[in-house]
Structure 1
């Protein structure tokens, strides 16, 4: 099986990296459930350390997804599958956990980003990789704070945006949520599309190398368990939160007896 996958060009190291980030995400979500659903106070998690942890997960996932976009065979089908999974998460949380609902979550974003990248590929392919990468990074940095009403990055707020932009559900999807918008997992097109495109252009920069096969070192896997997780990350993503919820309830029941 491994030899056949290698002949098909499977990059095992990328699967393993995705698996590693997935495990980090599961641990983070487990902590989130403990703090916000079960009422445990964990100071470091609610502070800067927890925020950096959360950002490292989403940055890696989105950047890696953009980098791996080129590997897909049926790109529109993949985009639709991921978007549909995101819609399922939204539907289930709105029906059964409205206080912890997910609207425009990471799967919805990744499906949309993959669709737009596929749609715009004829235009994007005309952009030189290095300038495209630089432009994507700059745009991500400058638009990182649009969700909270500013251009800028984190504590650096360059320009306050007009309040009229933050109007409704559609503007929330784009990156301009109104005051009454709420979601426990929110990834709008702006700024995150620019991070996805950073991964897309990073891949193209690497492939512009003069080497015959610049990504050959990524074909050798070293952690089969991580690879297994990474290759099934979408299904496992849909299952991990219900599994955590059940396990934590069993844990609470056992220790509260």
Structure 2
């Protein structure tokens, strides 16, 4: 599919971005305005949040193969991550973001430039399955365990958890806090699963046909995902504040 626009990928990215905006809007309603929605903190909310993360990371790994300049893209996304960190550290220190999703995605894009000569020698199916397994085996390293919460294989040595480099890699000290934290381990394995998935499906006629499906509003959003990501949180907060002010004026005294 060299040179052909794979429209559905833009649409899926746009759909994931909308889901993320709605999730963050719900989070702000609960955390800032005290709205009570119990399911948000339980399994349904966890699944919603994880579906957004997984979709972004797998799509980014998949689309790395389509990038004409992955170094430039990686640097731009990394710069976006630094901007988000700087703004939150200055204006929202209680919700500061260190090593967030943009920092991870930018780092993964740049790292794959270095890894590509090695990755080309790995069969696609083996690479996909191997990285999927590694992702689940390392899923809870941030919390100090190998494996996942439901299937723990043992503790990671505590001596690994110290300093900024270890935090970037996936081994944060106990006092580390970030409102959005995506370390290289385990998330790079999920990114690589998306990278290898590309070679598995790209030549399939059914996939090529599927990529021709167009949902233009979602495509428009998907092609501007970085800009929308950078702007969405202040826009959501302004919208919620405006709504709350109007609600207070209209329903003051009615207990709503």
TM (normalized to structure 1)? Answer: 0.93
- Distance in 2, Cα, partners of 1:169 & 1:227: 37
2:154 is matched with: 159
1:3 is matched with: none
Aligned with 1:71: secondary structure? Answer: coil
Residues 172-251 of structure 1: matches in 2 within 5 Å?
A: 172-207=167-202, 209=203, 215-251=207-243
- Distance in 1, Cα, partners of 2:62 & 2:127: 13
Q: Is the aligned partner of 1:34 residue 2:35?
A: no
Aligned with 1:241: secondary structure? Answer: helix
2:14 is matched with: 19
User: How many residues matched?
Assistant: 249
TM (normalized to structure 2)? Answer: 0.93
Deviation at residue 216 of structure 1 after TM alignment? 2.1
1:100-141: CA deviation from partner (whole Å, max 9, x where unpaired): 111110000000011111111011111111111111001001
1:181-240: CA deviation from partner (whole Å, max 9, x where unpaired): 101110000000000000001111223x5x5x6742244233100010011111100010
Deviation at residue 155 of structure 1 after TM alignment? 2.3
1:73 is matched with: 68
2:97 is matched with: 102
Structure 2: unaligned runs, 5 residues or longer: 250-256
Q: Is the aligned partner of 1:169 residue 2:169?
A: no
What do you get for the CA RMSD once the two structures are aligned? 1.5
- Distance in 1, Cα, partners of 2:88 & 2:106: 18
- Distance in 2, Cα, partners of 1:48 & 1:238: 28
- Distance in 1, Cα, partners of 2:73 & 2:214: 27
- Distance in 2, Cα, partners of 1:192 & 1:148: 14
